[in-house]
């Protein structure tokens, strides 16, 4: 059984769920389900704990198709939430999110669960930023909305041990080497990961190029110069997936052009 493997952590997580169950609200937990391995674990733990909850998936419109199919086929009870405008539609007017200004997460992922206790799969081991999180937190935008992270102290190996010990189904992309699942071409993803996505999902890449071109056209028509440094939507997308600063990208383009000229002269 699972509890014989690392029972103390599993038992502690179950007790957290039972101890913080919002019985007074009458609705139970709002389980934020992304389809990733951590949220699959949270879903299984909530069922093991016997607590009341409803699971919700916030559709970003740029998640991998495999993830959509996994959630729809394996978790039909999960409630889907679609944004009023898609990510790429929003890009054409709002601009591109960056590592320092990711409006996309707030708009596409963090809106649900107002006034409720939200369950997430946040873990300290995921990143230096998440290592500073607390097991329970209050939303900075809504004091009535709180978060509980039941597996905050679990390691990556703990997560996979739980999944395999309980035969929990997960998205096939993990078996192809993906470590984390999420939005395609995320500003926080590595250049290597984005290059893999360009090759794997050419239609998504083409849609990004089209949206970036429209953004550039809109800015130009409005008399704004913020997109002038890029030749077109393709140039903008190439910069986006390179993870380089604008100055680094401009320098590389200049060097490339110079080398082409030398070759022609030869």
- Name the nearest CA neighbour of 52 among 33, 27, 72: 27
pLDDT digits (tens, 9 = 90+) for 105-124: 877 887 889 999 999 999 99
**Cα–Cα distance, 131 to 142 (Å, whole number):** 23
User: Going by DSSP bridges, is the β-strand pair 136-138/79-81 parallel, antiparallel, or unpaired?
Assistant: unpaired
For residue 181, is it within any domain? no
User: Going by DSSP bridges, is the β-strand pair 136-138/146-148 parallel, antiparallel, or unpaired?
Assistant: antiparallel
Structure tokens that stand for 254 in this block: 């200049």
The answer on 226 and 96 residing in a single domain is no
- Name the nearest CA neighbour of 168 among 48, 60, 56, 57: 48
Q: Domain boundary at 117, 142, 176, which?
A: 176
Domain that holds residue 95: 3-176
Map residue 160 onto helix, strand or coil: helix
| The pLDDT value given to residue 247 | 86
For residue 148, is it within any domain? yes
Q: Give how many domains the chain has, as a whole number.
A: 2
Structure tokens that stand for 179 in this block: 């470590």
The answer on 142 and 35 residing in a single domain is yes
Q: Could you tell me if 33 and 109 are in contact, meaning their C-beta atoms sit under 8 angstroms apart?
A: no
pLDDT digits (tens, 9 = 90+) for 30-88: 999 999 999 999 999 999 999 999 999 999 999 999 999 999 999 999 999 999 999 99
Only one residue has tokens 């690392």, namely 6
For residue 186, is it within any domain? no
The answer on 240 and 197 residing in a single domain is yes
The answer on 231 and 136 residing in a single domain is no
pTM of the model: 0.89
Q: What DSSP letter does each residue of 226-249 carry, written as one string?
A: TTTTSSSHHHHHHHHHHT--HHHH
């Amino acid at each position: 059984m699972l509890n014989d493997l690392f029972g103390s952590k599993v038992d502690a997580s179950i007790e957290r769920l039972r101890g913080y169950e919002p019985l007074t609200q009458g609705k139970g937990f709002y389980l934020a389900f992304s389809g990733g391995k951590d949220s699959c674990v949270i879903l299984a733990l909530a069922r093991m704990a016997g607590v009341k909850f409803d699971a919700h998936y916030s559709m970003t419109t740029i998640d991998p198709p495999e993830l959509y199919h996994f959630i729809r086929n394996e978790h039909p009870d999960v409630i889907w939430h679609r944004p009023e405008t898609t990510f790429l539609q929003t890009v054409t007017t709002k601009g591109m999110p960056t590592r320092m200004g990711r409006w996309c997460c707030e708009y596409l992922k963090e809106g649900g669960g107002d006034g409720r206790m939200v369950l997430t799969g946040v873990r300290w081991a995921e990143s230096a930023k998440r290592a500073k999180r607390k097991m329970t937190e209050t939303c900075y935008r809504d004091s009535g909305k709180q978060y509980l992270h039941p597996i905050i102290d679990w390691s990556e190996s703990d997560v996979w041990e739980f999944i395999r010990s309980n035969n929990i189904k997960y998205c096939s992309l993990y078996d192809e080497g993906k470590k984390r699942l999420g939005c395609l071409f995320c500003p926080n993803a590595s250049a290597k990961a984005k290059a893999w996505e360009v090759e794997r999902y050419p239609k998504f890449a083409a849609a990004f190029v089209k949206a970036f071109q429209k953004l550039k056209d809109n800015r130009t028509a409005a008399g704004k110069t913020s997109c002038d440094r890029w030749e077109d939507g393709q140039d903008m997308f190439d910069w986006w997936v390179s993870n380089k600063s604008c100055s680094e990208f401009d320098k590389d383009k200049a060097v490339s052009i110079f080398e082409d000229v030398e070759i022609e002269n030869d």
